[in-house]
Structure 1
Amino acid sequence: MSNRDNWAAVDVPDQTGRVAVITGSNTGIGYHTAAALAKHGARVVLAVRDVAKGEAAAKRITKACPQADVAVQELDLSSLASVRAAASALKITHPRIDLLINNAGVMYTPKQTTVDGFELQFGTNHLGHFALTGLLLPHMARRAGSRVVTVSSMAHRIMAAIHFDDLQWESGYNRIAAYGQSKLANLMFTYELQRRLAAKRKSTIAVAAHPGTANTELTRYLPPFLRPADRLLTPLVVQSAAMGALPTLRAATDPEVTGGQYFGPSGIGEQRGHPKLVEASKQAHDVELQQRLWTVSEELTGITFPV
């Protein structure tokens, strides 16, 4: 595909008739992704944990773009019961789903567990999205050109590994390494999902993106020793959430995108800039690890995929 260096929100093609479900879309990158898709004609569903914040975000979008079609769906990715309930509601309310954007996430949280006993970052960022995708995928397979876009991070390279011997960090906890594990899992999930979709000759594709270094609420749990560097570097390398949303938007809408591609900013170190094709770590492409993670994820969530 053309890897032009100035792709922007204005390049999003007409999305009229398409339904996009975006997790964690009441703020930050998810919000700007939702606003851009709505502006270009998509029916957008803000799948969020806090419904009141979701409704406020929907109002901001429709105020800026009165013709926007925006709905809100309650979804707590840290609860498999909530994921199942949200998926059921989405399938009833929306006869078709064209885009599922797995955007929501938590970063560098103190040691916590989900309702189901999973380490919070792994449970929310990976397992919650794994389960949601598995539940919605049959609904998406009916739609030609449907896409699952999962948002990863440059952190998939930092202290990152899939700790199969202790996925839930029960024998020790490092919040940075745990976040890296969850973001590496996002990429491994994308690649394994794409391989399975292609094997079944499905029209749905799986694509990944990362926002670079963007100004969002994710940094609220930044470890104290990193905060001075964050304050120093923010004016130099951090881009707006709207710019951070561009790799996701390109992965979701560019007609030249193919399954298994990965998009990130074009600038130095992929920290900022317009979106382009980027490369994941060698570890992320390890097929044996991808398949092992898939099997474990099915066991932990109780969700099996139709591929």
Structure 2
Amino acid sequence: MLYGILDQPLGRGLKYDPDTEIPDLNGKIIIVTGGTYSNVGLGKETILRLSKHSPKQIYLLARTQSKAEAAIKDLQSAVPKAPISFIQCDLTDLKSVEAAAKDFTSKEKKLDILYLNAGIMATPPGLTKDGYEIQFGTNHVGHALLTKLLLPTLEKTAEQAADVRVIAVSSVGHVGAPWSGICFDKLKTEMSWTPTMVRYGQSKLANILFARELAKRYPKILAVSIHPGAVNTELYRSVFNGWLSPLNRIRGGFDTVETGAKNQLWAGTVKREDVTNGEYYTPVAMSGQGSWNSQDMALAAKLWEWTENELAGYEPPKAHP
């Protein structure tokens, strides 16, 4: 699996400066999941860069209120009066996701950009509160429910001739998914005999397939997935500083968070005609780099149907009056 990681282009694509190339975001309502890592998180960096371009409101969806409030304080010290609000959302608990969607729709009539950014990586075997393999349940199922519950708002916004986007943060780690792509019959087990990075790869493959199928079924919404690069975040360091550190030195070290956030910032704000709906992009703006499983639309449809069946008991909240 390592050959796939090393062969992927990491940061060799489009030169991109978010400070000068992100357009005016006046009137935009944005959600970013995750973003509470102290100073080395992609979500926090994404919010920072977007905040500089005058969005109407950015909602930080995160599990821990104290960490979110500390992150918002840091962000507003860098960008005074940045319009950032916290909504509690634990992706491992579908009831919490449902509550977050209700909280958001009670506040806003529209949603322009949804960043499915939060995630976990290389965790020990475990289950979410709803009984899904912990990485798949967090990285895919929780985000899928959030998207489902916000779809009416996204669609309504798109009908108003707005440029509506969903950006799923995946990973080159998707190449490590099982040969079959996704082990549907094991997703409600801990998969304890499956290596943690294989379970992670499966969840990141699901992010790509979900974005592809979302784009197919809801073409008015621009949905893409991205790989941020091997970024110097707490998430990556905790995993790769050990067994991958020699390989990391070969490729020149981790990318900075500032570099790592560029691909998702580009995908969320570049001219719509420059982005292919449903595509998976490596840094920055490079298409066509995913595994063969990541391009399997039959697998994408199967994942969508499985997910819809699992989430059938959840209905979108009533629209904002």
TM-score by length of 2: 0.85
Q: Does 1:248 align with 2:264?
A: yes
Distance in 2 (alpha carbons) for counterparts of 1:61 and 1:221: 24
Counterpart position of 1:292: 302
Distance in 2 (alpha carbons) for counterparts of 1:304 and 1:84: 8
> Could you give the per-residue CA deviations for residues 168-217 of structure 1, whole angstroms, max 9, x where no partner exists?
3446332111000000000000101100012xxxx321111111100112
Distance in 2 (alpha carbons) for counterparts of 1:159 and 1:188: 12
Counterpart position of 1:268: none
> Within 5 Å, which residues of 2 pair with 1:66-81?
66-81=80-95
Aligned residues: 290
> Could you give the per-residue CA deviations for residues 265-289 of structure 1, whole angstroms, max 9, x where no partner exists?
2xxxxxxxx4433422221111211
- For the residue of structure 1 that corresponds to 2:114, the secondary structure is strand
Q: Does 1:7 align with 2:16?
A: yes
- For the residue of structure 2 that corresponds to 1:148, the secondary structure is strand
| Partner residue of 1:178 out of 165, 190, 199 | 199
Distance in 2 (alpha carbons) for counterparts of 1:158 and 1:81: 30
| Partner residue of 1:192 out of 183, 204, 213 | 213
Q: Does 1:92 align with 2:106?
A: yes
> Within 5 Å, which residues of 2 pair with 1:251-290?
251-255=267-271, 256-265=274-283, 274-290=284-300
Q: What residue identity is the alignment partner of 2:259? A: M
Counterpart position of 1:33: 46
Distance in 2 (alpha carbons) for counterparts of 1:303 and 1:206: 24
Counterpart position of 2:184: 164
Distance in 2 (alpha carbons) for counterparts of 1:72 and 1:207: 25
Distance in 1 (alpha carbons) for counterparts of 2:30 and 2:312: 25
Kept after mapping to 1: 8 A contact 2:174/2:201: yes
Kept after mapping to 2: 8 A contact 1:140/1:204: yes
Distance in 2 (alpha carbons) for counterparts of 1:96 and 1:88: 13
Q: What residue identity is the alignment partner of 1:131? A: L
**Which one scores higher on RCO, CA 8 angstroms, separation ≥ 6?**
2
- For the residue of structure 1 that corresponds to 2:120, the secondary structure is coil
Distance in 1 (alpha carbons) for counterparts of 2:238 and 2:127: 15
Change (3 A) 1:254 1:67: same
Shift of 1:305: 8.8
Change (3 A) 1:232 1:209: closer
Kept after mapping to 2: 8 A contact 1:246/1:275: no
Distance in 2 (alpha carbons) for counterparts of 1:66 and 1:126: 34
Q: What residue identity is the alignment partner of 1:227? A: G
Q: Does 1:302 align with 2:317?
A: no
Kept after mapping to 1: 8 A contact 2:76/2:82: yes
Structure 1: 4+ residue segments shifted above 4 A: 303-306
Counterpart position of 1:55: 69
Distance in 1 (alpha carbons) for counterparts of 2:212 and 2:314: 17
Change (3 A) 1:258 1:229: closer
Kept after mapping to 1: 8 A contact 2:230/2:236: no
Kept after mapping to 2: 8 A contact 1:107/1:218: yes
Q: What residue identity is the alignment partner of 1:298? A: E
- For the residue of structure 2 that corresponds to 1:141, the secondary structure is helix
Q: What residue identity is the alignment partner of 1:78? A: T
> Could you give the per-residue CA deviations for residues 203-244 of structure 1, whole angstroms, max 9, x where no partner exists?
321111111100112136528xx7143277268231011211
Shift of 1:99: 0.6
Change (3 A) 1:159 1:295: closer
Change (3 A) 1:178 1:44: same
Q: Does 1:152 align with 2:170?
A: yes
Distance in 2 (alpha carbons) for counterparts of 1:303 and 1:13: 39
Distance in 2 (alpha carbons) for counterparts of 1:141 and 1:230: 44
> Within 5 Å, which residues of 2 pair with 1:203-242?
203-219=220-236, 222=239, 227-230=242-245, 233=248, 236-242=252-258
Shift of 1:61: 1.1
Distance in 2 (alpha carbons) for counterparts of 1:213 and 1:303: 37
Shift of 1:20: 0.6
Which runs of no fewer than 5 residues in structure 2 stay unpaired? 1-11, 317-321
What value does the CA root-mean-square deviation take over the aligned residues?
Answer: 2.1
Distance in 1 (alpha carbons) for counterparts of 2:310 and 2:28: 32
- For the residue of structure 1 that corresponds to 2:156, the secondary structure is coil
Kept after mapping to 1: 8 A contact 2:177/2:201: yes
Q: What residue identity is the alignment partner of 2:268? A: A
